[in-house]
Structure 1
Amino acid sequence: MQIIQDKQQCIYFDENLLTEPAEQVFDADYWQQKQKIIGSAQGRGTTWFVQLANIEGALRHYRRGGLFGKLISDSYFLTTWQKTRSIAEFQLLTELHNCGVHVPRPIAARAVKIGLTYQADLLSEKIPDAQDLVDILQTKSLSAEQYQEVGKQIKKMHSLQVNHTDLNIHNILIDKVSKVWIIDFDKCCKQTGENWKAANLARLKRSFFKEVKKRHIQWNESDWQYLVTGYQA
C-alpha cells in the first residue's frame, strides 16, 4: 500500500493493482479519454466500471442518502484522514481480503479536503461475471451448498469482528464458478462483543422476506437453515 498525502488530500493505493497515475484515476473523464469505461450502474450516484491493466475496477463517489443527502449531497465533516469513509473502507477491505474473506480488492481511495469537510472516492475491484442474490433468485433458486457458502463467508467476516451494517442480499454476489462475495463496506467497522452478529443475520433474513414480497424471488424460509448450517460449520 502506498500513500500520497498533503494538506488538501490523501490517497491510498495498491501499487500492485494500479499502474495509472493515482491522482487521476478518480476522475471519470480520465477513463473516458482513455476509452476504458466498460459500463456503469446507478445508485445514489453513478458507479463507473473501468478497465485497468489486469483487472476491472468500480469507481464510486461517496454520496449521502436520505433527506440530509438532498441538502448536502457529497460532503462529510473531516476529523482525520484515516476516519474518512473512503480511506476507512479501503483499509477494512484490505484486512478482509488479506484474511481470506471474499471481498473486492481495494485499488485506490481518495479524500479531498474542502474547508472543514471532505469529499471521497473509492476505486475497487469489479467482481467479474457475478450477480447479486436478488438477480439470481428472480430466475432460479440456490442449492443448499450455495447457501452454505454464503453462511461461511459471513462467518469469516464475523470472526474478524467486522460488522457489515448493511448486510442484505443486494450486497452478496455469486460468480460463474459459484464463489460467494460480500460487497459494499461503506460505514462498516470492526466491533467488539457478539450480540451484533445475530442482529446482522436477522437483517439479512429480513432482506430475503422483503424481496419475496417485492420481486417474488425464489426463496423459502426453509432455505435459511442451509445458510445457518454454513455459518455454524
Structure 2
Amino acid sequence: MQKRISTENKNEVIWFDAARFPYFPIEWFDSAYLAQNALLTGSAGGRGTTYFFHVNDTDLVLRRYKRGGLPGKLLNDQFWYLGLSRTRAWRELSLLLQLNELNLPAPVPVAARVVKHGFYYQSDIITERLASAKDVHNLLLQSALTPSEWEKIGRTIRQFHDCQVYHHDLNIHNIMMNDQGRIFLIDFDKCGFKHGEKWKQANLSRLLRSLRKESQRCEHYFFEEEDWNNLINGYNSHPLK
C-alpha cells in the first residue's frame, strides 16, 4: 500500500493500492461526489451507510467508521486520536492485507483514509465488492439454505479460527455467499489475531445468538436448530473441500 498525505489538508492521510490505482482521487471517499457523478450503484444500512460504486471497471465499497451505542449519539464518527497505527482504518486495512496473504475469504482492501481534527479523527475504508455475493441474513429471509451450504459456513469460520483470526462481530449479517456458493466473512473492524482456543466457542455462540434473534424478530425466517447442527458439523469437518 502506498501512503499519501494530502497537499490540501496536512491532517489527511490516504493509503491506497498504487499497483491498481496509480493515483487515488480523494473524492472517492465522498458519497456526495460519487452520487453527483453517477458513480454510485447502491447502498446498505447498518450502524452507518455503506456505499457501493463503480470506477475503472471495478466495483468498490465505501464505509465510514461510526460509533455505536450512546457514544455514537454524541460523537457519531469521531474517535480519539492515538496515532495512525491505532486508527480504525489503518488497523482494518492492515488486517485485510494479512487475511488476503493467507488466502482467507475476506474482502480485498483498496484504500483507507484518516482525517485528523485536533485530538479526534474520522476515517473511511474502501474495499472491492464481492461479486454476486449477498449477506446470508437476507438470503434466509427468502429461502432455506441446504445442509451443505450450512456446512460450508461452518468450514469457512473454521478456516479463520485455525489461523487464529478473531472476528469481533461474527453475526449472520457479516457472512456472505456468492452465486457459486462460496462463503466470505466481512466487516473486520476491531478484529485481529488472538491467541488461545476458549474465545472460539464464544465466537460461535455469538453467531448462534444472532440467528435466534433474527428468527424471533422476522416473521418469515428460514432458520431451524438443525441448520446450526449442520454448521457445526462443517466446522468440525475442516479442512474446507
Q: Tell me if TM exceeds 0.5.
A: yes
The equivalent residue for 1:79 is 82
Query: Could you tell me which amino acid in structure 1 is paired with residue 12 of structure 2?
Result: Q
Most deviating of 4-13 and 195-204: 4-13
Partner of 1:218: 222
Say if 1:41 and 1:48, in contact at 8 Å, map to a contact too. Answer: yes
Cα root mean square deviation, aligned: 1.7
Is contact 1:11–1:22 with CA below 8 Å preserved after alignment?
A: no
Are 2:73 and 1:70 equivalent residues in the alignment?
yes
- Point out where structure 1 has 5 or more consecutive residues left out of the alignment: none
The corresponding residue for 2:115 is 112
Q: Aligned equivalents of 1:17 and 1:33: distance in 2?
A: 24
- The answer to whether the 8 A contact 1:11-1:108 is kept is yes
**Aligned residues of 2:16 and 2:24 also touching (Cα < 8 A):** no
Give matches, 1:173-188, under 5 Å: 173-188=176-191
Q: Which runs of 4+ in 1 moved over 6 A?
A: none
Q: Which residue of 1 aligns with 2:134?
A: 131
TM-score (norm 2): 0.90
| Aligned-residue offset at 1:22 | 4.1
**1:66-109 Cα shifts (integer Å, max 9, x gaps):** 11111111111111211100111111111112211111111100
Moved more, 126-135 or 161-170: 126-135
Aligned residue number for residue 198 of structure 2: 195
1:33 deviates by 4.1
Report if aligned partners of 1:171, 1:183 keep a CA contact under 8 Å in 2. yes
Distance 1:212 1:74, change over 3 A: same
- Tell me which amino acid in the other structure corresponds to 2:145: L
Bigger mean CA offset, 209-218 vs 17-26: 17-26
1:166 aligns with 2:164: no
Offset of residue 20 of structure 1: 5.2
- Residue 231 of structure 2 aligns with an amino acid whose one-letter code is L
Name the structure 1 match of 2:35: 32
Task: Give 1:204 shift.
Answer: 0.6
CA 5–159 in structure 1, closer or farther in 2 if over 3 Å, else same: farther
Q: Does the 8 Å contact 1:19/1:53 carry over to 2?
A: no
Are the equivalent residues in 2 in contact too, given 1:36–1:51 (CA < 8 A)? Answer: yes
